[in-house]
Amino acid sequence: MFAEVMGGFAALANPETFLYLVGGFLMGLVFGAIPGLTATLAIALLLPFTFAMELTNALVMVMAIFMSGIYAGSVTGITVNIPGAASGAITTMEGYALMKRGHGAKALSLDALASSIGGVLGAAVLMFVAVPMSEFALMFRTPDKFALVFMAVVTVVIVAKGSIWKSLVTVSLGLMISTIGFDNMVAQGRFDFGSANLIEGVQLLPAVIGLFAICELLLQGGSKARTAAETPAFKVKHRDFWPDWKEVRDIGFWTYVKSSVIGVLIGMLPGGGASMASFVAYAEAKRVSKKPEEYGNGSHEGLAAAESANNAMCGGAVVPLLTLGIPGDSVTAIIFGVLLIHGLVPGPGLLTNEMATIAPMFAALMVAAVFVFLSVLVFGPYYIWLARMNRGVLYAFIAMVAMVGTYASTYSGFQMWMALAIGIFAWLLRLMSYPLVPMLMGIILGPYLELYMRRTLITSNGDVMAFFTNPISIGLYLMTALFIYFLRIKAPKVA
């Protein structure tokens, strides 16, 4: 395994692959930092291009976008009090307080260092945990696989922000969309209304483009441009971004490590995501802090804890995707699509059979985490520009890539209409504050949930107790119950 992981790093030495890594990193940085845009959108827009990319380049680029996009969510939060993504909300609270006191460069520097440490630790955990977990997953039988997918679906519903009823609606809608088309076990079309296009089912690409790109375009249509007063000037020099090592020592190595471990564990949880990781790590750091009164008023410790967890989550989120075939959030759900496009099926057999192909992903995640710290030294003084980017250019570009990308990768005008229809429906759902991530997870996990449910019932002659007889299944159902208790009934609070 060690040799294959090293082979992953060696793959990055290929100039073309390295260029994709840098390109992905910059793309994630821009999309993550611009309020309203996210790493998910960046990867969604990249999806059509991956059809024509070499697999290694596609995976490396996606990983770089993931790492830098999650980090950059906090950049405009610190500089202009507008987080680029929800995951940057806690960092914004602490970082902007420092910015107002004239310590903006210091906040950005601590933010980048913590993100780098978290990202590197998360990638390291991924490298060590993925293969053993994958080997364990090979023991899963069909009822266990059903229990696993069921756990993912339930967890996605309970961790989604807002009303649990609304999450239930959107995950059900996603699962319903997955039932459209030819039945995967008997020769029977379903919900296709006699259309030759619908009989193939709803493809992942137009669904992702609709849910994240078209929907975002329509949402931005309803939002006003920010004024110059909301994005004030920020004049600093490159050297201001070197971290003050005394402050780093004050924060303490243990804070970084503990927050990173929290981030990795939450990343492994289906639906966990960066927001929850930063939230829980921040709450834990505050609980044990010697200076809890500083939290909320520019705490270095709080900022470091939130950001370490944020980026450590990236490594954790990839673990269930590669080992169990369960995407943990919207980004890994799209990575799932990238793997499928290239004929690789995420799941227990992937790492045992294709480790050499997947290893560059691990290496890219770690190298991108190191780039995070380097990026603030290079681009720090220019971060303010990201919040001022021309909206006409930005949204015309997103609209073009979304629609043309859908056509170019499917050669079908119908799929453009499908992306648009899903986008309009997703926009309506967002207008009504329904979460969209459960819908995407439903679309992706639906075929597996149905397949394992039906196979279990067929082999047991319809006996539903077959779902509850294997120790692994029972363990997974108990974990589901625990998640419901800890994440919904007894959810952690920051205040």
> In the window 158-217, what residues touch another protein (CB under 8 A)?
161-169, 171-173, 175-176, 179, 183, 185-186, 188, 190-191, 214, 217
In degrees rounded to 5, what are phi and psi of residue 393?
A: -65, -50
- Give residues 22-81 in contact with another protein (rule: CB under 8 A): 36, 48-49, 51-53
* DSSP conformational letter for 231: S
Min. distance of Cβ 303 from another protein in angstroms?
A: 23
Min. distance of Cβ 238 from another protein in angstroms?
A: 30
If binding is defined by CB under 8 A, does position 225 make contact with another protein?
Answer: yes
- Distance, in Å, from the CA atom of 467 to the CA atom of 144, rounded to the nearest integer, reads 8
Q: Which of 302, 280, 364, 297 is nearest to 110 (CA)?
A: 302
Cβ closest to another protein, residue 162 vs residue 492:
162
Min. distance of Cβ 37 from another protein in angstroms?
A: 11
If binding is defined by CB under 8 A, does position 7 make contact with another protein?
Answer: no
- Judge contact between 324 and 147, C-beta under 8 A: no
The amino acid present at 132, given as its one-letter code, is P
Chain-centre distance for alpha carbon 169 = 21
Q: What is the largest CA-CA distance in the chain?
A: 71
What residue has token string 């249509």? 221
x/- track of binding to another protein for residues 341-380 (CB under 8 A): ----------------------------------------
Cβ closest to another protein, residue 358 vs residue 453:
453
- Distance, in Å, from the CA atom of 169 to the CA atom of 157, rounded to the nearest integer, reads 9
Of the candidate spans 62-70, 157-165, 270-278, 483-491, the one that interacts with another protein by CB under 8 A turns out to be 157-165
* Residue 62: both structure tokens together: 């996606």
Query: Between the CA of residue 40 and those of 151, 269, 368, what are the distances in Å?
Result: 23, 18, 17
- Give residues 91-130 in contact with another protein (rule: CB under 8 A): none
* Residue 176: both structure tokens together: 């319903």
| Beta-ladder partners of 181 | 190
- Judge contact between 143 and 454, C-beta under 8 A: no
Cβ closest to another protein, residue 2 vs residue 411:
411
Cβ closest to another protein, residue 59 vs residue 318:
59
- Give residues 375-404 in contact with another protein (rule: CB under 8 A): 390-397, 399-401, 403-404
If binding is defined by CB under 8 A, does position 226 make contact with another protein?
Answer: no
Q: How many residues bind another protein (CB under 8 A)?
A: 76
Identified binder of another protein from the candidate list 3, 345, 374, 408, rule CB under 8 A: 408
